[in-house]
Every structure is written in C-alpha cells, then in structure tokens.
Amino acid sequence: MSDNNQKLSFIEKAGYSGGDAAANFVFMSMILFQANFYTDVFGLTASTAATIVLVARLWDAFFDPLMGVLADRTKTRWGRFRPWILWTSLPWAVVMFLAYFTPSLPPPAMIAYAFITNILLMTLYSANNMPYSALGAVMIGDVIERAKLNSFRFIAVNIAQFIVGGFTLTLVAKFAGADQNKQRGWAITMGIWAFLCLVLFLITFFTTKERITSSSTVQASPRQDFSDLLRNNPWWTMVAMTLVHFAILSFRGGARYNYYHYFADKTAIFDVLHALGLTAPALMSGEAAPGGIMETLGYIVHGDRANLAASNVADAGNGIINMIDTGLSVIVILLSPGLARRFGKKAVAIVGFGLAALFSCGFYFLRPDNYVGMMALTALIAISYAPTIPLIWAMFADVADYSEWKNGRRATGMVFATIGFALKLGLAVGTSSVLWLLAYYGYEANQAQAPSTLEGIRSLHSFYIGGAFAVCTLLLILYPLGKKLTYQIAEDLMMRRDQGAVENQ
C-alpha cells in the first residue's frame, strides 16, 4: 500500500491538531483583545496602536513567502516542515509573554517596546505556522482523509478559541487582584497561555510524520515556483478570498469587543440568564473572580442589579457570546467531512459564507437589550460558518495539488506561504481598519461613548462584517476547483506517485 493510501491514526490527527490549537492562543488573543489591550491597558492611542499592528503584520505578510522558500528547501531527517515547529516553540513562548507584558518606560520607549515585541511575535508566528500549515498537505494524499485531518485540527482550534474567548478576561481580572492591576493580570494570563503553546508544539512535533514528496525529481528555483503560481487560477482566487476572510476575523474581534462593551445593555444579560434558569447557587463555587464571568453570575444568583451594573459585566457578556460561538463551532465542524463528501468543499463554503453574511447584517436591527437576539444570531453564524473552517484549509492543499498536477513540480511551502501572505495582510487590514474606524467615529477608551460613536460601533459589528462575508461568497463562486475536478486531480497525482515509487525501486 502506498503512503497516499494510508489512513492517519487518531494519535497523529490529534497530535497535529495541537499545533494549531497552540497557534490560536496567540491568534485569537490578537483577534479578540490586542486592539483594546494596546489602547485600554498598555496605554497607546487608537491611531498609534493601529499603526503598530499594521506595520508588524505587513512585515509578517512579506516574511511568509521567504519562509515558504526556506521551508520548501529545508532537508532534515524529520522532513521539511516539522523541524520548524520544534525550533520555534521556545522562542514563541518567551516572546508571547513579553508581547503582553507592560513595562514602566517613557511613552516613546513604550511605543518602541510594543513595536519590537509585536514584530518578533509575528515573525515567530510565520516561522512556525506556515510550515505547520504546509505539513498537513504532506502528511496524507487522500482527499477525504485530509478533510478528516482538518476537522480534527479545527475542533482543537475551536477548543482553544473557546478557552481564549471565554476565560482570558476572567483570568486577567482574577490575577489583576483587588487593586485591579490589569497589566499584571494580562502578563500572568498570557504567561499561562505561552506555556501551553510550548507543550502543544512539542506534542505536534513528536506525533506527526511527513509522507508526500513531489512526483518530480526536478528542483525548481524560487522564481520558477512563483512563476507557476502566477499561472494558477485557483491560487489567485484563494489569495483574494483569504485576504478578505482574515480581515473579517480580525475586524470582527475588535468590533465584537466594543459592541458588547459599549453598545449592548450591560444588565440585559441578567434577564436572559434568569429566563434560561441559570440562577442556581450551584453556579457559584468559591469566591468569585472580580470582573469576570463568575462574579457576574454571582450578582445574578443573588439578584444584585446594582453591583451587576457596576461590575465589568461587558467582559462577561462578551465571554458568553464567545463561548456560544466557539462551542457550537466545535460541534458543527464534525459535519464538515460528510458535507464535503456529499456536496464538495466549494459548495459547502459558498453556502456557509453566504448565510454568515446575511446573519451578520442582522445585528444592526437588534436593540441594545436584546441579548436573546444577539445569542441567536451568534449561534446561526457559528452553525453556518463552522463547516467552512476546515474545508478552506483543505482547499489550500487542493491548490498545491493543482500546481503539481499542472506543472509537474510540487511547491507546497510556496503555496501556503503566499496564501499566508494574504492571511497576514488581511489580519493587518482588519485590525488596523477597526481601530482607524473607531477613531473616525470618535471612540474614547474607557469612556462613555457619544451617540454617533455608538452608531458607528453598531455598524462595524453588522454591515461592515456582513459585506465582507458577501465578498468572500462571490470569490468562492469564482473558485474553479469543484468536487469533480478535485477528485480527478487527487487520483491523477496518486497514480503518478505510485508510478514514481515503482520506478525508484
């Protein structure tokens, strides 16, 4: 039996998934909290924070193709991509902690510190995550097995997102202590996440194996690899889609935080959780963490509306919404392989993004006290969007297959690196855009917002996000690799590799 026909074991699938779970402790912290960490905790202005984030992520985006060339030409006994996960694991953990540590420095030095640590973190993210993403494309060649691998991966991703989105602010509040020192709270919390990242990266390295090599023995130059991509129509479509897609993710994180912190009625959650029956004393176990979800639930249990209104309940509301989003995503992702097998990855992605666009726009029409509507739309978006998450990454592997099928040369690292360029550029555009738009709408950190600012925050969390999802839907419609052609490419490449293996015996 050829390597391409083998099935991956549960341990290898789970071990591989740990690497992206680790990456999401950084990724989701950036998406959900980095913008407001810089403005509300670190002490930067919104425009300064936007510039720092933009420059760091633009550097990261341009570094990705260089990383792809380097990874494609790495040769070790462990393979081309696995060793990078090992080599970057410890530096990643150290810099991750430093990036959310707030030193006592003069303002210009604070800006320089934020800039340098952000640049370093983004560089290590590329050096780790680009080879990690390419690794999934060379572990197995079977299309359905790849979909299963990516389902494992994104279940782990959503578990990590559930933890980050649901518990980061609670832990920050806990470690901030009675004096509400959020700078200390952030440093300790991110130190815990950094240690988990280190452990998960090591697990990924030791449990995975690279199996697929190109059917061609000719080593192309980086220039030839890039020239091949320029003639790869599926690559062009996925680059554009990825840019918009990841701009949505980073934009939505900042927009969501401000929507629940400033626009949503902070005490409306009291009535919602009462209606759901979540008022039993069993919700409380020990002393409540100040400013966190458990403190909020404590006020709800005891009917203490005054303290509920005065507490940092917006963080709890945001955390509950994040938990609904990621919790449902973990469940629905399990449907991805079956949906892909029946309808094809492209069709599932088009429907998922289209519905996400529609439901995102619905947030504009909710009143500030309509937490039921907010929870319902969050659930509908998660159910629609979640099946697309692993399928999009499997489509990136299909683009690499198409390049080998068409040109006779495999450049997996280059494909993932250039798509990574679009990903990082999208993150930069998304985070910077939400910060600049907040500044445009008159946002003032930790202050009551003007009515025009609240209207802007409301639009950011609805029409801006829905419109971007709609653009992704249109791009996916243009993507040329449908179900039939994808299966044909996989079968042709498998025959080539099997023939090459026989000839080399």
| Helical spans, DSSP H, in 3-81 | 10-29, 35-36, 46-72
Domain-located, residue 58:
yes
Domain-located, residue 469:
yes
- How much is the pLDDT for 77? 87
Domain-located, residue 184:
yes
- How much is the pLDDT for 498? 66
CA angle (343 as vertex; 150, 19 as ends), nearest 5: 5
Q: Are 417 and 69 in contact (CB under 8 A)?
A: yes
The domain of 340 spans 12-499
Domain-located, residue 3:
no
- How much is the pLDDT for 414? 75
CATH number at residue 64: 1.20.1250.20
- In order, the DSSP letters of 157-203 are HHHHHHHHHHHHHHHHHHHHTTTT-HHHHHHHHHHHHHHHHHHHHHH
- The residue ranking higher by pLDDT, 115 or 59, is 115
Domain-located, residue 505:
no
Give the predicted TM-score (pTM) of the model: 0.68
- In this predicted structure, the answer to whether residue 294 has a pLDDT above a threshold of 70 is no
- The residue ranking higher by pLDDT, 347 or 394, is 347
Domain-located, residue 400:
yes
Domains in the chain: how many in total?
1
pLDDT tens string 66-93: 887 888 788 888 888 999 999 999 999 9
Q: At what angle do helices 336-343 and 143-176 cross, to 10 degrees?
A: 150
pLDDT > 90 in the chain, percent: 37
- In this predicted structure, the answer to whether residue 396 has a pLDDT above a threshold of 80 is yes
- In this predicted structure, the answer to whether residue 274 has a pLDDT above a threshold of 90 is no
Confidence class for position 220, pLDDT limits 50, 70, 90: low
- How much is the pLDDT for 484? 85
Domain-located, residue 6:
no
CA angle (225 as vertex; 221, 230 as ends), nearest 5: 140
Across the range 191-208, mean pLDDT stands at 96
Domain-located, residue 353:
yes
Across the range 440-461, mean pLDDT stands at 90
- In this predicted structure, the answer to whether residue 291 has a pLDDT above a threshold of 50 is no
